[in-house]
Chain A
């Protein structure tokens, strides 16, 4: 244990309003900590620079899953265990439920929150690709009120996001309009469990006959933050799906992807595997169409 517990202060105002007031009064001074599955690792490694922390754990106002007319709202303090075991999420946002089962281990899933996953902003974040292909929105909150932005605008750079210094991530909203879409999500890690993602691909698609009416493709670890692959989507939009289109989409992905070599994997591997995953998704679409 290289961190010094005495060198940090952790407080728990006990209510969302209390937290918002605190961080409004001293913007940037207090670092929120929810389940701690990232922050406590840095702490143990002696690398936790943030001295003042405010606990979000146990705030009921942040931990909810609510279905309303056209969307599911998921509080930022919702754990991955909550997500994977929730019936509405399983039915209406199955990719998210699937991603939740991949987080760490059972013990990590009890503590890791979707808010923490997004705010931590790793390019390998497990919940991000699914949220991107669901056109999710994020809701930010401060004492000034709430605002919503598309999740695709949330990440602005490597580990940087669009939140103001006095804002917290309040909720994620997944629109309930993907029931008829074909959905795909696959993560490639170092092993079957407790694996940081080397690359992951998510997709939602709606075909009309053989033509692609809607397609969304998102990836982890192909850019400094999780991102939609707009150019790749562009090669497919409105086209009939066939082996040539699939090949061209894969080539577009290889162009668009900008992965790096790091301690876990290589750029060449990430690109090639992402292209393979895309091929797998598109061939599944084709096969599903053929069997109608």
Chain B
């Protein structure tokens, strides 16, 4: 609950930008895999007010999406995290594979020190430009809302709430311990379930990477 309250406070001090498009779902919840009831109240209100930033500044609603979008993937990343960067080809592949099925990928840069020029350079170097959208989360509003702890970490927002949060796959077991190839592709499985209208069987997993707590707040 503390996490949620922080999100409300932080969202409250941000300027509210005009809504960019219709919402993916009616309400957002902070508890993974759990649908909240009660329109416009409590948790739902927190999500409605939650704001991140466009790369060039100005508040952005991370949940805003055009019609036909069935899920949004928030992919927390940073420009110089080696594990995050090594996943770039896989993230692009997933984005391309799920785009026709109404899934939008949004890179979230939670390090306040990473600003527009560095982010643009990063997106060009790792060929994200055109494949994914990008937002900054310097106040960690979205970080706290979904409970992300490292980069890379994914959160899937669908049907008005977060239905998955964790690793992209199980390639990294720990820092310094990785599998030659993944044996479970958790993010892809979650998206496949969401598209099929089924529950995500394992809604949280432990991601391995660079700690968001280390980014200067």
Real complex partners, A and B? no
